[in-house]
Amino acid sequence: MKLLDLPREVLIILPNYLETLQDFHSLSLTCRTFHDVTSFPSSNLLFRLACSPYTGLQPYPHLLLATKARQLVDWAVQDDSRRDELLRAIKGGCDKVLKLGLKISPLTVEDLRRLHRARVDVLIPLSQEMDPICGPASRPKDAEEITVCENLILALTNFWLYCDMFHHRISASYSKSEVKPLSNETWLAWFRWCIPDTNCNKRDCKGQYEQLDLKQILPEMEAKLWPILTGSQTRQDPGKMWWVRCAFHTGLPALAVLKSKSADAISPEIQEVKDQIKLRINEGVDPAVVEEEDGENEDVWVTMVEDINCAWFHMDELQEEGADEDGEI
């Protein structure tokens, strides 16, 4: 008996015995019949294949979470109970946040296609380009060998995640919106539990330096983005400084521009940032400061590096708050 002679109900369950996404993709390309039976895989099957040690979707769970971060946070900001549920998940680490994200929005084939394109077209080539300047090999032989960034793919994914998880907070610095961003408690918890670093959590993260890695590479990445977006190395125009800083924090779109080194790669999202900032300046908003309700002026630029510095400053406070928390949801 030929394989295709088996009853359709048997053929339909064959994908459940595959081990990797590559196997699933290959099966779907075999013939019209297998293309049909693999056209609507369950979210559970896709998740199992994506998590397979043979698939290689690393870093896990960060990359999978990146496919759901915006949908998750857009869901969470709709009411206080959802905000609280997200905060509880964050205190359980990225695995718990991913679990909540997949509960809100199950994994789809299109999610995995977008993730594959992001890895192959942006994250991997950008990390390979940055690698020579991030490790000990780039230093003179007689210099003290200090690795600037332990895991570039993880660092880039952490940056992408931060920009998506807190995009309401970032966009509030350049646009008018009625959506209330996630609380300070939430983003501080994100740094403590989802970007482990001994500088922020000495008790639970000994020997881990994910935030330090980001502090090392992000300023140089933003500096490289400046001439691509503005066509100039001069940084004296506050309006352009505002735009580049906010455009950088669009996350994956900014990484795509850095990888391409061309303004042609500017996405509609980055163009929207420019348009919103131009509108705010035309309305009389100072591009360097913003007037708060209490009358105090604060920097309008939300940056990941500044947030890391803030998380480190509040380390003792975070340590006390987390002492009796188990992060369960």
Helix (H) or strand (E) holding 299: strand 297-299
Helical H segments across 68-130, by residue range: 69-76, 80-90, 94-104, 109-118, 124-130
At residue 285 the predicted structure's pLDDT band, cuts being 50, 70 and 90, is confident
What percentage of the chain has pLDDT greater than the value 90?
41
Q: What is the mean pLDDT of residues 223-250?
A: 89
Residue 221: per-residue pLDDT: 92
Q: What is the mean pLDDT of residues 204-226?
A: 87
In DSSP terms, 190 is beta-bridged to none
At residue 327 the predicted structure's pLDDT band, cuts being 50, 70 and 90, is very low
34 vs 271, more confident = 271
Residue 133: per-residue pLDDT: 64
Mapping DSSP to helix (H, G, I), strand (E, B) and coil, where does residue 283 land? coil
At residue 315 the predicted structure's pLDDT band, cuts being 50, 70 and 90, is confident
Q: What is the distance between the alpha carbons of residues 171 and 181, in angstroms, rounded to a whole number?
A: 9
Read off φ and ψ for residue 107, nearest 5 degrees: -70, 140
Residue-wise pLDDT tens digits, 103-129 = 999 999 899 989 989 999 999 999 998
Q: C-alpha dihedral over 199, 101, 73, 247, to 10 degrees?
A: 70
Q: What is the distance between the alpha carbons of residues 71 and 96, in angstroms, rounded to a whole number?
A: 15
For residues 254-264, one letter each, b for 16 or more C-beta atoms within 10 angstroms of the residue's C-beta and e for the rest, the string is bbbbbbbeeee
